[in-house]
Structure 1
Amino acid sequence: MQNPSTPAYRIPEPVARVLGRLPRYPGSVLFVTGLNLVLARHLHPDTLHRLEGRSLRIHVADAGLRFDYTWRDGAFRAARHDVAEPDLTFRADAWDFHCLLQRREDPDTLFFSRRLVIEGDTELGLMVKNTLDSIDMAVFHPKAILRDLLAGQRHRLRFR
C-alpha cells in the first residue's frame, strides 16, 4: 500500500545515478534559457529587483539534478554554487515539481507533507513561492509559449 505522502512516480535509481553524474552547469544553462523564454516576462519588476544577485537552486532530488541560477542584469543566469550554499533551495522529487506546475498539488500541502523542502532565506522563499502561486499557469502551455515567442520575433523584426 502506498503512503499518501509518497509521490505516485519516482525516477528509477539507475536513471538517477546517470543523471546525478551529469555536470550541473550545462543543465543550469538550459534551465535558465527556459526561465528567460517563458517566465521572466511575467514577473513583476519589484520581484525582479528583490531577486537581483540572489543565488537560487532547484534540486530535483529523485533525479539527482540541481539547477543553480541567479537573476542579474535583467535576465536569469546560470550560476555555480559550488563554494557556498545558495540563498534559496527548493527541493522535491520530479513528480512533485510536475504536480506543482500542473497545479495538481498546492505548495503548502507539499511543504507540510515534507515532499517540498525550502532551505535558506525564509523571506526570499515565501516571496518566490507567492510569486509562482500568482502566475497563471496557462503561460506554460506550449501554445502560449509559441505564441509569445512568435510575437516577440515579430516585434524584434519590426523595430530593427
Structure 2
Amino acid sequence: MFQALPYEGNRSEQFSSVLEQLKSLIHDEPSSIANLANASALLNSFLPDINWVGFYLYDGQELVLGPFQGLPACIRIPLNRGVCGTAASERRTLVVDDVHEFPGHIACDAASNSEIVIPLIKNEQLLGVLDIDSPLKGRFDHDEQQFLEQFARIISEKL
C-alpha cells in the first residue's frame, strides 16, 4: 500500500525519494498502463504548483493521450505541433516558461502558463512524452528538469 508522506530533506534528497518510490511502484508490474497511471499520480502528489501531469504515447504516427492527472485533455497531438509534438519530434526536453509565447502551442487547459515535456525513448525509439503543465510562468527549473528526465528514463525502460 502506498502512503503519501511529507518529503523531507533538501530537493536532491526529495527527488531521490520519489525516484525510489517510482522504482518500487513499477518493479513487478507488467502493465504499462498501470505503471504510467501510478507514475502520473506519484508526480501529481509530489510536485507543487502543477495543474496537469501525464503521458502521451506515440502510436507510430501521432501522440495519443495516455494516463494522466488533471482536467480532460487533448486526445491526439501530431508530431511537430505544440510543445508535446515538438519535443517528441526533436527527441529533446522542452521547458517553456510562457506557453503563450510558444509558436503553435495547443491550449488544452486555459489555466496553463508554463510546461515541461520530456520524450520517452527506449533503444532509440520514441515511445511518447511525459507532459507537465503549471499555472505559474517559469515554474520548471534546471534541477527539476534533470530529476524529471531521470524519472522519464526509469519509466521508458519499463515500457
Q: Where on the TM-score scale, by shorter chain, does this alignment land: which range?
A: 0.3 to 0.5
Please identify the structure whose Cα radius of gyration is greater: 1
Higher-strand-fraction structure:
2
TM-score normalised according to structure 1 size: 0.35
